[in-house]
Amino acid sequence: MAEGHSQHPESDKVARPGSPDTRAADEDPAGEIEATGEKIEAVVRRIKELGREIGDTGGQSIARDGTRAEARGMSVDQAAREIERLREHRAFKGKNVSITRIVDATQKRSERVQRKLGELISLWEAAVPTLISERTKLVSLKGGVLHVAAESSAVSYELDRLLRGGLLVTLRGQYHGTLTRIKVRVGAVDSDK
């Protein structure tokens, strides 16, 4: 064997502070973690300080030194005015809490529904014989399905015969909205149509 070399090559290595060999020898990884944590805390404190400095100056420190403003061909005053304009533009303007927008939208929606239902009611009265239409009531129109209430099972039966005879096809052809199906049920029909 050569001089100065032992049988264990690991023992010849020089341990450097912070190296894995030193850590194994020191058996103190918690101390290193604490030191790293302190460094992180120092960096976070510095970032907060810089944030406060920028907040105190209102972000105008960039415009005051003139370096960026001059690079863009602006004077420092122009850059300050531009920053102020952008700040006003980007500022939170608040939520519109007035009810007029909601009322207008509801009114438009109800007018549209009324127009469609009015058209369907007039088509219903024209296509269904008077004796049957007087004893029925159009209850609702949801998802293209027209719900009709019939005064009695006899009226329901007659209406069913009309539907099988082509009433639905006739109404679909003349109606400008969506009409996919007509559901008939026996129920109370108001006489104040």
Per-residue pLDDT of the chain (193 residues; tens, 9 = 90+): 445 454 555 545 555 555 555 544 455 555 666 667 777 777 777 777 766 666 655 544 444 455 555 556 667 777 788 888 887 777 677 776 778 888 999 999 999 888 888 899 999 999 999 999 999 999 888 889 999 999 999 999 999 999 999 999 999 999 988 899 999 999 887 755 4
> What tokens does 139 get?
């209850």
Q: What angle do CA 183, 188, 192 make, to 5 degrees?
A: 105
- 149, 189 in Cβ contact below 8 A? yes
Cα separation, 157 vs 163, in Å, equals 10
Give the pLDDT score at 125. 92
- What does each C-alpha distance from 158 to 52, 80, 94, 115, 155 come to in angstroms? 81, 81, 60, 28, 5
Where in the chain do CATH 3.30.300.180 domains reside? 109-186
Give the pLDDT score at 98. 78
Q: Which residues of 59-97 are buried (b: 16+ CB within 10 A; e: fewer)?
A: eeebbeeeeebeeeebebeebbeebeeeeeeeeeeeeee
User: For the domain 109-186, what is the CATH superfamily, name and number?
Assistant: DnaA, N-terminal domain (3.30.300.180)
Give the pLDDT score at 39. 78
Amino acid at 161: R
pTM score, whole prediction: 0.45
